[in-house]
Amino acid sequence: MQAVVIENLKKNYGKIKAVKGISFNVKKGEIFGLIGPNGVGKTTVLRVLATIIKKSDGKAKIFGYEVGKDDEAIRKIISYLPEEAGAYKNMRGIDYLKFMSNFFQKSDVDKAIEIANLGERIYDKIESYSKGMTRRLLVARALMAMPKLAILDEPTSGLDVVNANEIRNIIKEYAAMGTTFLISSHNMLEVEYLCHRIALMNNGIIVEEGEPEKLMEKYDAKNIEEVFLKVIK
Ligand SMILES: Nc1ncnc2c1ncn2[C@@H]1O[C@H](COP(=O)(O)OP(=O)(O)O)[C@@H](O)[C@H]1O
Ligand SMILES: [Mg+2]
């Protein structure tokens, strides 16, 4: 079964056509990347799928459930990490994870603590955490209920190479355990290490799609950044 099926999805904000009719599928167990520069519509697509905002047209299904109709069922099997997610600054990391676990039918706080990998700092207030530490805590929160689909918006954005690598390893670990991932990134250079398949987005449409290796071959490019530049030329 496909984890995500999207057909001719459109989203307008008033007169602004943010997503102009895109189609793609994500297979079960896959790490799929929606890749492109800022402002091309990545976050909009993810927010529609996460049932945060309503689509304007087209169809989207998540594990057979229809977005816009079966939203309650969808919310039970997905988790969504917003781009600019904040954590409750006054809480300690440990209390944040315990608090958030109350919202899930089933969740594993111990596993989340392990993923966050904050050591003794898990007992400190979140306001004292670095950006990388906060992001790890939030990713742990997003994965603690073992969602069937994790939708992560720019999970490594703004992180240094060590922290970004750690987040990528967490994603790979969970994918190996069966979670399907749909992530967005404007960092085209990291996706070849992480994503099984990617869709390149520009101006509200998908301009190319496939396995990173094959795309580089097809465009005779050294990396995905070069692929993208050749595609939009
Ligand atoms: N709430 C909103 N109201 C109006 N326009 C928006 C809103 N959110 C996003 N947009 C516009 O939609 C387009 C796509 O934005 P977004 O989905 O955030 O792109 P990305 O995640 O690729 O940076 C941009 O032109 C942006 O300005
Ligand atoms: Mg975005």
Residue 124: inside a domain? no
Is the minimum distance from the CB of 42 to ligand 1 under 6 angstroms? yes
The residue written with tokens 């896959």 in the block is 30
pLDDT (0 to 100) of residue 107: 81
Residue type present at position 226: E
- pLDDT-derived band of residue 5, with 50, 70 and 90 as boundaries? very high
Phi, psi of 78 (to 5 degrees): -115, 165
DSSP letter at 52 equals S
**Domain count within the chain:** 1
Residue 120: inside a domain? no
Which residues form the domain of 38? 2-85+147-232
Is the minimum distance from the CB of 103 to ligand 1 under 6 angstroms? no
CATH code at position 78: 3.40.50.300
Query: How many angstroms separate the alpha carbon of residue 18 from the centre of ligand 1?
Result: 6
The strand pairing partners of 7, in sequence order, are: 59
Residues 133-138 have a mean pLDDT of: 92
Between CA 102 and CA 141 the distance in angstroms is 11
Query: If DSSP codes are grouped into helix, strand and coil, which group holds residue 67?
Result: coil
Residue 213: inside a domain? yes
Cβ neighbourhood burial of 56 (10 Å; 0-12, 13-18, 19+): middle
CA nearest ligand 1 atom 3, residue: 13
pLDDT (0 to 100) of residue 106: 80
Query: How many angstroms separate the alpha carbon of residue 35 from the centre of ligand 2?
Result: 10
Residues 163-167 have a mean pLDDT of: 91
Residue 187: inside a domain? yes
- pLDDT-derived band of residue 158, with 50, 70 and 90 as boundaries? confident
Query: How many angstroms separate the alpha carbon of residue 11 from the centre of ligand 1?
Result: 10
Query: How many angstroms separate the alpha carbon of residue 205 from the centre of ligand 2?
Result: 14
Query: How many angstroms separate the alpha carbon of residue 182 from the centre of ligand 2?
Result: 13
Residue 166: inside a domain? yes
pLDDT (0 to 100) of residue 53: 97
Over residues 102-124, the pLDDT tens digits come to 888 788 899 999 989 999 999 99
Is the minimum distance from the CB of 35 to ligand 1 under 6 angstroms? no
Residue 22: inside a domain? yes
Between helix 131-143 and helix 93-101 the angle, nearest 10°, is 20
139: region left, alpha or beta (phi > 0 left; psi from -120 to 50 alpha): alpha
The residue written with tokens 């987005």 in the block is 201
Residue 122: inside a domain? no
Residues 188-211 have a mean pLDDT of: 95
pLDDT (0 to 100) of residue 105: 79
Looking at the CA of residue 40, tell me the nearest atom of ligand 1. Answer: 22
The strand pairing partners of 134, in sequence order, are: none
Q: Give the count of beta carbons closer than 10 Å to the beta carbon of residue 172.
A: 14
pLDDT (0 to 100) of residue 108: 87
Closest ligand relative to 42 C-alpha: 1
CA nearest ligand 1 atom 25, residue: 39
Nearest to 56 by CA among 111, 109, 9, 107: 9
Is the minimum distance from the CB of 43 to ligand 1 under 6 angstroms? yes
Residue type present at position 216: M
Is the minimum distance from the CB of 40 to ligand 1 under 6 angstroms? yes
pLDDT (0 to 100) of residue 85: 75
For the chain, what percent of residues have pLDDT higher than 90? 85
Residue 98: inside a domain? no
pLDDT (0 to 100) of residue 103: 85
